[in-house]
Amino acid sequence: MAVYFHEEDLPGDLAFADGPIAVDTEAMGLMPGRDRLCLVQLSDGHGDEHLVRFSPDSDYAAPNLKALLGDEDRLKLYHFARFDIGIMAAYLGIMAAPLYCTRTASRLVRTYTDRHGLKELVKELLGEDISKQQQTSDWGGPELSEAQRDYAASDVRFLHRLKDELDRRLLREDRMELAQGIFDFLPTRALLDLEGWDEVDLLAHS
């Protein structure tokens, strides 16, 4: 297992294994437009993670990364897809779908708890511990520490295994079709966020 670090784009000769690709992002905050995209993390589930960092003056061209994320035949795995696909749409200009969101799946099948963070999910379903100490660190600095890199890599390291376990539970509880409907809607939800509808429930009666 290795963590590979890249500036501004993936190498042109980098080949990922077929199948779903796990994706995560790090940004300066949670408001696209105000808070810039700093890092995109990826894993094909075969042991290596790749981190792509963007500088403060980046033009976010990243043709190789965009080709991978924009591939409509490759499923993308996220934990809290709503934010990740939104900020990538804002800065990279692509919608990185179709998608699967482990947080959403967790909320559908782990209704016995309100703890759906990645750390809790990995601990319960996979029996492994991950550190979240770097979650609120400065991702826009001139250098990323080894601790930051390992934290960023861990955010995509477990998503393939989590999907397998969550799929078993979704099937057991007969909620797979419901989950897929939400996954299909999330790109629209993310675009609504970017248009300023993030705090509005458009389906509410009042």
Sequence ranges of the domains in the chain:
2-197
What does pTM read for this prediction? Answer: 0.95
- CATH architecture designation of domain 2-197: 2-Layer Sandwich (3.30)
pLDDT tens digits in sequence order for the chain, 206 residues long: 799 999 999 999 999 999 999 999 999 998 887 899 999 999 999 999 999 999 999 999 999 999 999 999 999 999 999 999 999 999 999 999 999 999 999 999 999 999 999 999 999 999 998 876 656 689 998 889 999 999 999 999 999 999 999 999 999 999 999 999 999 999 999 999 999 998 888 888 87
Q: Could you give the C-alpha distances from 155 to 3, 185, 201, 202, in angstroms and in order?
A: 12, 23, 29, 31
| Crossing angle of the two packed helices 176-192 and 102-109, in degrees rounded to 10 | 130
Give the whole-angstrom CA distance, residue 16 versus residue 11. Answer: 11
* Cβ pair 53, 5 in contact under 8 A: yes
